[in-house]
Structure 1
Amino acid sequence: MNLKKSLLIIIAVLLIDQLSKIYIKTHFVLGDSVEVFSWFKILFIENSGAAWGAKLSDFLPISEPTGKLVLTVFRLFAVAGIGYWLYDTIRKESSKTLILAVCLIFAGALGNIIDSVLYGVVFSDSYQQLATAFSDEPYGSVFYGKVVDMLYFPMVDTTWPDWVPYFGGSTFRFFEPVFNIADMAISTGVGILLVFNKKAFGTLGEDESTLEERA
């Protein structure tokens, strides 16, 4: 897979990710939801931390704003590293499977870093009101934006039977995390690397090498 095709994949993922986030941000109030199916909802939340909403301040003796800044800077270095990895795999004419996986991971990471770096200065607050773009009263500053999440799949939403020890009577939901298109791209890329590990990192055969050169 050549650089042109890789860029098309990255741009397509970024467009879908950012357009969906901008639509949700400007048409939903924080916490609003729409039921598409009983097992799938559009639910607008914002994530100021890492995966699953975790924050560095939950684990380290630092303030929440400092933790957010450290996390955003770390994401920037991570995106740069993944970008170099992608460049290197294309330069070495690695397998299409590996290049596709790295493209998805890079596009997803870049999509979320756009939120973290820019959304705080682009949008107004979404709490109890619709946010506006390029607001005179942005909700944050550069590096302090929040990631927009909206895809929610409560495929199982029930209550544990009373006879179940400890959990009896409590709510059980699967799958509970809320995520976005960028998260899906990252997860898909990682999944490809795990499931098709040998194909991604194995040595190209003579026939596949020829096809790669023509791609």
Structure 2
Amino acid sequence: MKIKHAIYIIILVLFIDQFSKIYVKTNFFYGESVDILKWFKLTFIENEGMAWGTEIPGEYGKLFLTLFRITAVVGIAYWLWESVTKKKSKYLIVAISLIMAGALGNIIDSVFYGVIFDKSTATHLASLFAENNYGTWFHGRVVDMFYFPIWHGFLPQWIPVYGGKEFNFFNAIFNVADFSISTGVGILIFFNKKAFDNTPTNSTKPYLNNDLEENK
């Protein structure tokens, strides 16, 4: 698999990710939710932190997270380049490309959104390239929108710890970048042997080489 194919994957994911975020941020009030299906909603929220809405507390938590993401992307980019150069498995290259695209997608929010958008509220739609931006460089908030409340109810009493309590499945609200990262990690987990197969993708099998030698 060539590096250009990995770049195509990254660009495609980034385009879908940023298009969906900008559309939701400029067309949804903060907290607004639209039912697509009974178990699928578009719900606009923002978060300060990591994938799937988790956060790092503290005054410098956001800055630390953004800088960590940038450092991580540099490492992932090197991993991708090395994997392509050494003709590693397509599974591995696709997985790395998806992880890198997702990381870049959330970095764009963190680095730029604070200075190109004004604040989203329950009564105000955000504007792109607004004069009264809501934040500063490296302190933008990540836009999330996909919500899958597949089941909501009370768990049976016999379940340890959570028995009898109200429960939502699936409760996280996420974005395309988060999904891309999770898909990449999923490929590495579920296709581990194929992803980390050290045989170059264009290598010729030994028995074919032997046949060629015998026919000379």
Q: TM-score, normalised by structure 1?
A: 0.88
Partner residue of 1:157? Answer: 152
Partner residue of 1:55? Answer: 55
Q: Does 2:125 align with 1:130?
A: yes
Q: TM-score, normalised by structure 2?
A: 0.88
Partner residue of 1:114? Answer: 108
Q: Does 2:51 align with 1:93?
A: no
Number of equivalences: 203
Equivalent residue in structure 2 for 1:74, among 61, 68, 77? 68
1:198 aligned partner, one-letter code:
K
Equivalent residue in structure 2 for 1:102, among 87, 92, 96? 96
1:19 aligned partner, one-letter code:
F
Partner residue of 1:213? Answer: none
Partner residue of 1:177? Answer: 172
Question: Offset at 1:209?
Answer: 2.8
Listed as ranges, the gaps of 5+ residues in structure 2 are: 205-216
* 1:12-42 CA distance string (max 9 Å, x none): 0000000000000000011000011111100
Q: Could you tell me how far apart the structure 2 residues matched to 1:96 and 1:164 are?
A: 42
Question: Offset at 1:208?
Answer: 4.5
Listed as ranges, the gaps of 5+ residues in structure 1 are: 58-62, 211-215
Question: Offset at 1:93?
Answer: 1.1
Partner residue of 1:189? Answer: 184
Which of 1 and 2 has greater Rg? Answer: 2
Q: Does 2:129 align with 1:140?
A: no
Question: Offset at 1:202?
Answer: 1.1
Question: Offset at 1:5?
Answer: 1.0
Q: Does the 8 Å contact 2:87/2:202 carry over to 1? A: no
Percent identical: 55
Q: 1:132 aligns to what SS in structure 2?
A: coil
Q: Could you tell me how far apart the structure 1 residues matched to 2:121 and 2:198 are?
A: 52
Q: Could you tell me how far apart the structure 1 residues matched to 2:156 and 2:79 are?
A: 49
Within 5 Å, give how 1:17-56 maps onto structure 2: 17-56=17-56
Partner residue of 2:207? Answer: none
Q: Does the 8 Å contact 2:47/2:55 carry over to 1? A: no
Question: Offset at 1:158?
Answer: 1.6
Equivalent residue in structure 2 for 1:84, among 78, 81, 84? 78
Q: 1:203 aligns to what SS in structure 2?
A: coil
Q: Could you tell me how far apart the structure 1 residues matched to 2:78 and 2:162 are?
A: 47
